[in-house]
Amino acid sequence: MADFEDAYWWSGDELRLHYRDYAGPASRAPLVCMPGLTRNARDFEPIARLLNGKRRMLAIDFRGRGESAYAKDPMTYVPLTYAQDMDILLRELDLKKFVLCGTSLGGIVSMLLAAQWKDRLAGVILNDVGPEIGKAGAERIRGYVGQGRSFETWMHAARAMAEVQGDIYPDYGLEQWLRFAKRTCKLSSNGRIVFDYDMKISEPFKLPGGEAGVDLWPLFSMLEDVPLLVLRGEKSDILEKATAAKMVKKAKQATLVTVKGIGHAPSLDEAEAQKAIAEFLAGIR
């Protein structure tokens, strides 16, 4: 695994938030990676290995996930608040140029940030998300997010992941499911394996429109002349095929890459995803 330093910043409501800082040359625009709803900074380990120190990379834990503090008010677990948290971090870092990479929820936050930070945006990678959220996918996620299951061992956790998400990653074997479990879960203080997020993140998400909360097409329009890579799982129920096609039609510098056989969302270690990200970043200083 690529080396990183743990780094922290404070939100406007005084939460200590965490990100991984993977070193890279100052001459290249850093890559700022934001994860999906129930995920964390560990999801971007495949990209860190791909970059291998050739570009600085920041992998974010949103509030309520990973090493970031849990919010006192669960109604702050919404994209607008995550964007406000990120705005504080970006101001502190004072990056002259940067690339945003967002999976699912992280992509929504990327679009929210685009308007204010457009002058510093060198490019954007949207992983299986767009300005419209597939209704079937949103309902599927509402059905499992916030369920506080626990598991006796990592093997039990891996097999549970395979039962629930086997349709999304049909070619995964036990080794891949174990890796998936270790990115998604943590060892709790009582020795059980639990999901690595605050179960209360489900509360605003389960409200009508909670997956985004705003009309994102006007925000997406801010990316129309920004280098854009759209990754889509072939079987995704979050980024529907028609929405992806509309996105690349609207955005002048957009490239759409489909990861075959995968649902929502590509894990970014697939050969198609790695090739697409490497080629996209090669064109950005």
19-23, 25-29, 115-119: the lowest-pLDDT one:
115-119
In sequence order, the β-bridge partners of residue 103 are: 127
pLDDT value at residue 2: 77
DSSP state of 197: B
Of residues 169, 133, 162, 187, the one with CA closest to residue 266: 169
High-pLDDT (> 70) share of the chain, %: 96
pLDDT band, very low/low/confident/very high, at 1 (cuts 50, 70, 90): low
Position 209 pLDDT exceeds 80: no
pLDDT value at residue 129: 98
Q: Are 66 and 36 in contact (CB under 8 A)?
A: no
Question: Which CATH entry fits the domain spanning 5-136+214-282: 3.40.50.2000, 3.40.50.1820, 3.30.460.10, 3.40.50.300?
Answer: 3.40.50.1820
Token digits of residue 138: 């949103």
pLDDT value at residue 79: 94
**Residue of higher predicted confidence among 135 and 230:** 230
pLDDT value at residue 231: 98
Position 206 pLDDT exceeds 90: no
| Dihedral pair phi/psi, residue 36, rounded to 5° | -80, 180
pLDDT band, very low/low/confident/very high, at 211 (cuts 50, 70, 90): low
One-letter-per-residue 3-state SS of 18-61? EEEEECCCCCCCCEEEECCCCCCHHHHHHHHHHHCCCCCEEEEE
Residue 265: cis peptide before it, omega within 30 degrees of 0? yes
pLDDT band, very low/low/confident/very high, at 142 (cuts 50, 70, 90): confident
pLDDT band, very low/low/confident/very high, at 272 (cuts 50, 70, 90): very high
Which residues fall within 8 angstroms of residue 284, CB to CB, at 6 or more apart? 28, 29, 99, 122, 123, 227
pLDDT value at residue 29: 98
The one-letter code for the residue type at 259 is V
The residue extents of the domains of the chain are 5-136+214-282
- Segment 211-236 shows an average pLDDT of 89
pLDDT value at residue 95: 95
Q: Are 114 and 126 in contact (CB under 8 A)?
A: no
Of residues 36, 85, 35, 11, the one with CA closest to residue 211: 36
